[in-house]
Amino acid sequence: TGHLIGEENRGLEYMFIMMNAARFAVGMQGVGISDRAYQKAVAYAKDRVQSRPVDGSAKQPVAIIQHPDVRRMLATMRGLTEASRALAYVAAAHCDIAHRHPDEAKRVEHQAIYEYLVPIVKGWSTELSIDVTSLGVQVHGGMGFIEETGAAQYYRDARILSIYEGTTAIQANDLIGRKTVRDGGKVAKSLLAGVAATI
């Protein structure tokens, strides 16, 4: 037995409310798994002693966090994670304003911005999580493939995120086809103007 939920002939519209929430949540999973992989890699790099410093500053092996390439990887992991988190926070703020602002016109404006950002949060954050967790395995070196470290598990967990609730290509199609074209790029231009003003 089927029961009508909401108004007749608005099911697809309702479904996309649910899908946007799910896509945003998956994007946040990408942020979370990236941060956890980063934390794990930093802890390992502080503990793992191997090789002398390339600058000759010590004659004994040092913790690998002192090696330039390890520092580069950790900085990349941190930078990508912080960027994806910041993007998600901006989107969440627009969602909050869309639901709470007393002015209806402002609610509509912020809802449009939130909806525009959702496929970016989902697609970009999940793709980055694959890169970040892969770097986490690299920081661990050969130990990254040994289950007791947990580094490889983060990579496996991240790999599915760019697939479910709409693959990255689906997010791109949504961003361009539904979110940018439908208003002639108005929201996109508004966001870019805001970025330019900040810069």
| 3-state class (DSSP) for residue 55 | coil
Domain total for the chain? 1
Residue 9 lies in a domain: no
Residue 3 lies in a domain: no
Question: Tokens 């810069």, residue?
Answer: 199
CATH of the domain at 60: 1.20.140.10
Which residues does 38 contact at the CB level (< 8 Å), separation at least 6?
74, 77, 78, 81, 132, 136
CA–CA distances in Å: residue 2 to residues 5, 13, 57, 110:
9, 18, 73, 34
The rounded distance, in Å, linking the Cα atoms of 26 and 48 is 32
HSE at residue 5, side-chain half, CA atoms within 13 A, is 7
Judge whether 127 counts as a catalytic residue.
Answer: no
Residue 45 lies in a domain: yes
- Range of the structural domain that residue 141 is part of: 22-194
Give the CA dihedral 80, 192, 91, 167, nearest 10 degrees. -70
Residues β-bridged to residue 49: 63
pLDDT tens string 32-88: 999 999 999 999 999 999 999 888 888 999 999 999 999 999 999 999 999 999 999
Residue 168 lies in a domain: yes
Residue 8 lies in a domain: no
| 3-state class (DSSP) for residue 20 | helix
Q: Which of 13, 109, 148, 165 is catalytic?
A: 165
Residue 199 lies in a domain: no
Residue 112 lies in a domain: yes
Confidence (pLDDT) at 77: 98
Residues β-bridged to residue 63: 49
Q: What are the tokens at 149?
A: 């470290």
Would you list the DSSP string of 135-189? HHHHHHGGGGGSGGG-HHHHHHHHHTTTTTTS-HHHHHHIIIIIIIGGGTTHHHH
Give 169-174's long-range contacts (Cβ < 8 A, gap of 24+).
Answer: 171/23, 171/119, 171/120, 171/122, 171/123, 172/119, 172/123, 174/119
Per-residue pLDDT tens listing for the chain (199 residues): 989 989 999 998 888 889 999 999 999 999 999 999 999 999 999 999 999 988 888 899 999 999 999 999 999 999 999 999 999 999 999 999 999 999 999 999 999 999 999 999 999 999 999 999 999 999 999 888 888 889 999 999 999 999 989 999 999 999 999 899 989 999 999 999 999 999 9
